[in-house]
Amino acid sequence: MTFLIALYALVVAARPAPTVAQAGGGQVTIPPDTAYGCIACHADKRTAFVMGVHADRGIRCHDCHGGDPAATVLPTAHRGRFVGKPDKVAIVSLCGSCHSDPDRMRQYGLPSGQVAELRTSRHGQLLLNRRDFHAPTCTDCHDAHMILRPDDARASTYPTNIPATCARCHQDATLMARYGLPTDQFERFRRSAHGVALFDDQNFAAPSCVGCHGTHSALPPTVTEIANVCGRCHVLVSQAFAAGPHAAAARDGRIAGCVGCHGNHDTERVPAERIAATCGRCHAAGTRAHALGTEIEQDVVQATADLHAAEEAIGRLTRAGRETGDAQFRYRTALTAYLQIAEVQHNLDVERLEELTRRVRSISRDLQGIADVAEEHRWEHQLFLVPVWFFALATLALALLALRRLERGSRHS
């Protein structure tokens, strides 16, 4: 290990001194690292630091830690405004000394609200108001030295790495027991529609933890906010929802918005055959609302079966060797109507729902009819081929027989 570090130091020392653009406009040359005392004794921290974003901008150890970088011996190196290892609250001010300054951040296109946002979050309240060091500070999520951009796949803040970053604490049963919080968020999220989209499909339009909670302002959305949080991405569903009777109930906090039917961390589509049962969690059997749920379920189940039948009809047409262009076009019309059903039923307007269901059914019936006819023709075609094959084979057999005779005749003579 020591050998490796020494080798690394040699390689680094042999490199030309990098040039860095300064905010002032001029170019300055960083002195070669051997003249920079801190790294002579803290080579491991340098290794991590040069991989991060700050080194690229000419930020150096003493910008955060103070001390005298020209000195190579203790205690002189640690003199001056030496900060040493800042505690969790001091870290917020340290990072904020640059990141909360809009004049400094504007040139990089970076927002400057992280500290202000952290202050509003549950994390910030605990850390800054109560000095509870179990709450995260900037470096718990970003590291202290190897600070990478969130779009760098190695970063702890890269979309697919965020859940693990949060889970380091939120899956820690002893830590969370102090606050009476469950520790199953990551497990449930991993299996949810969002977890599958994020991890398996690498679909970064799906939320990681921060997509719903906010990044630096992490708080659970209050019951009345949930529909708006989900609606940021599910725009059409949310518009339909807003037109239905549950929207008013959600505004008053009587139903936890979308989560009332979908769950927060184990978010899933409600399967067609469980729709009425879902309504039944809040509306007793025999009520108008429950009856409506049963109607919706029947429509969705029927439309799903019709869509599958239409798909199967296209398959049959293809096998019968038919041109399927027109059928494909009609199938897509049915699919569009089918997809609209899932959105529209959020306003619980069964009339519109039934209209869409009928459209799927009528197209599906047509396509099945066309496929039936094509299959009949295909059989007729195949039946017609039987005599043709019979004659062809018979002719071949006769020809072989004749050939055999000829050969025997020539051998005789």
| Span 139-198, contacts to ligand HEC by CB under 6 A | 139-142, 144-145, 147, 149-150, 157, 162-163, 165-166, 168-170, 179, 181-182, 185-186, 189, 193-194, 197
**What is the closest distance, in whole angstroms, from the C-beta atom of residue 165 to ligand HEC in the complex?**
5
Residue 21's φ and ψ, nearest 5 degrees, are -75, 130
| Contacts with ligand HEC, 57-86, as mask; x by CB under 6 A | x-x-xxxxx-xxx--xxx--xx-----xxx
Beta bridge partners of 29: 19
Under the criterion CB under 6 A, does residue 361 sit at the interface with ligand HEC? no
Under the criterion CB under 6 A, does residue 207 sit at the interface with ligand HEC? yes
260-279 residues near ligand HEC, rule: CB under 6 A: 260-262, 264-265, 267-270, 272, 275, 278-279
| Contacts with ligand HEC, 16-45, as mask; x by CB under 6 A | ---------------------xxxxxx--x
**For residues 97-125, b (16+ Cβ closer than 10 Å) or e, as one string?**
ebbbeeeebeeeeeebbbbebbbebebbe
Residue 108 tokens read as 């990089």
User: Whose Cβ is closer to ligand HEC: residue 84's or residue 369's?
Assistant: 84
Q: Which of 33, 128, 146, 212 binds ligand HEC (CB under 6 A)?
A: 212
Please tell me whether residue 386 adopts helix, strand or coil conformation. helix
Residue with tokens 């600070």: 147
What single DSSP character describes residue 57?
T
User: Whose Cβ is closer to ligand HEC: residue 10's or residue 248's?
Assistant: 248
Q: Which stretch binds ligand HEC (CB under 6 A): 2-10, 25-33, 92-100, 369-377?
A: 92-100
Q: Which of 33, 128, 217, 221 binds ligand HEC (CB under 6 A)?
A: 221
> Alpha-carbon distance 246 to 227, whole Å?
10
**What is the closest distance, in whole angstroms, from the C-beta atom of residue 141 to ligand HEC in the complex?**
3
Q: Which of 18, 31, 102, 245 binds ligand HEC (CB under 6 A)?
A: 245
Under the criterion CB under 6 A, does residue 231 sit at the interface with ligand HEC? yes
363-402 residues near ligand HEC, rule: CB under 6 A: none
Q: Sign of dihedral through CA atoms 285, 291, 295, 300?
A: negative
Under the criterion CB under 6 A, does residue 350 sit at the interface with ligand HEC? no
Give the helix/strand (H/E) hosting 27.
strand 27-29
**What is the closest distance, in whole angstroms, from the C-beta atom of residue 317 to ligand HEC in the complex?**
26
**What is the closest distance, in whole angstroms, from the C-beta atom of residue 187 to ligand HEC in the complex?**
9
> Alpha-carbon distance 242 to 169, whole Å?
36
110-129 residues near ligand HEC, rule: CB under 6 A: 110-111, 114-115, 118, 122-123, 126
# chain residues binding ligand HEC, by CB under 6 A: 142
Residues 186, 166 contacting (CB under 8 angstroms) = yes
Look at the chain and count its residues: 413
Under the criterion CB under 6 A, does residue 334 sit at the interface with ligand HEC? no
Name which of 157, 175, 174 is nearest 166 in CA terms. Answer: 157
Q: Which of 128, 138, 327, 374 binds ligand HEC (CB under 6 A)?
A: 138
> Alpha-carbon distance 78 to 68, whole Å?
6
> Residue 337: CB partners within 8 Å, gap ≥ 6?
356, 359, 360, 363
Residue with tokens 């009520």: 287
Residue 364 tokens read as 């599906």
